[in-house]
Amino acid sequence: MTSYPAHTDKQLGLVIDLDACVGCHACVTSCKEWNTGGHMAPLTDFSPYGAGADGVWFNRVHSYEHETESGCRTVHFPRSCLHCAEPACVTVCPTGASYKRQSDGIVLVDEDKCIGCKLCSWACPYGAREFDADVGVMKKCTLCIDRIYNENIPEEDRIPACVAACPTSARHFGDLGDPDSSISRLVEEREGIDLMPELGYRPTNKYLPPRAYSGKGAAVSAPPLEAAFPEGGFLAWVDRVLSR
């Protein structure tokens, strides 16, 4: 049955701080490195070192310019599966390969049942799913189920690879269904938001918008260039002559 559970015991997910992300793509590469040997392995690459390189990735970092009345800033934006509470990618699946777990809310693909019809990727507004043309099945973020429950690795490593790799702590992992968890409190404090809430998928992952400018920061740019030798003299005459 590919209907999703109405309620899950936990809502494991990520909180991504757009204020802290510097767009280094460390989460992207560590995700690829872990998962190409993990639950959904392999993450096939075609022509990886040649022209037209194409491969499966669970996590992609976009960069945007956000221009408002208060100024313009660059925002780096990691995009991956949001493990929605109402995932249409699950209900559209004709085979039952796509499912949402009752225990922790993670959305997964059973690769042995997937027929590769690609409909789930059409149903996902966020572009979280990528088709592996070599294996012929759909692949997606597993929230590193093979790390977070893995008793063979040290306890401090039992977090998703992307979270472990982030050098600026822009990525946080935890139970968003528990209002007292540290990441739920972080979301509340920073007024974390859902992406495309108007589509009604109720994503579990939350994004923390960049903080407003305080105006208190030190000037970091060099002073503007001034007219050469405003006090006049020989060099000012040279400047005038050469500027003609």
3-state secondary structure the chain: CCCCCCCCCCCEEEEEECCCCCCCCHHHHHHHHHHCCCCCCCCCEECCCCCCCEECCCEEEEEEEEEECCEEEEEEEEEECCCCCCCHHHHCCCCCCEEECCCCCCEEECCCCCCCCCHHHHHCCCCCCEEECCCCEEECCCCCHHHHCCCCCCHHHCCCHHHHHCCCCCEEEEECCCCCCHHHHHHHHHCCECCCHHHCCCCCCEEECCCCCCCCCCCCCCCCCCCCCCCCCHHHHHHHHHHC
**Spatial separation of the C-alpha atoms in residues 57 and 31, rounded to whole Å:** 8
Q: Nearer Cβ to other proteins, position 40 or 148?
A: 40
7 contributes a contact to other proteins by CB under 8 A: no
193 contributes a contact to other proteins by CB under 8 A: yes
Q: Nearer Cβ to other proteins, position 195 or 236?
A: 195
For the bound state, the minimum distance from the C-beta of residue 215 to other proteins, rounded and expressed in Å, comes to 18
196 contributes a contact to other proteins by CB under 8 A: yes
102 contributes a contact to other proteins by CB under 8 A: no
For the bound state, the minimum distance from the C-beta of residue 148 to other proteins, rounded and expressed in Å, comes to 24
202 contributes a contact to other proteins by CB under 8 A: no
Q: Nearer Cβ to other proteins, position 94 or 238?
A: 94
28 contributes a contact to other proteins by CB under 8 A: yes
Size of the site for other proteins (CB under 8 A): 70
Strands 206-208 and 12-17: parallel
Q: Which of 5, 36, 42, 116 binds other proteins (CB under 8 A)?
A: 116
Of the ranges 164-172, 177-185, 199-207, 231-239, which one interacts with other proteins (CB under 8 A)?
199-207
Q: Nearer Cβ to other proteins, position 11 or 59?
A: 59
80 contributes a contact to other proteins by CB under 8 A: no
Residues that bind other proteins (CB under 8 A): 1-3, 18, 23, 25, 28, 51-57, 60-69, 74-75, 77, 79, 88, 90-97, 113-119, 121-127, 130-133, 135-138, 193-200, 207, 209-210
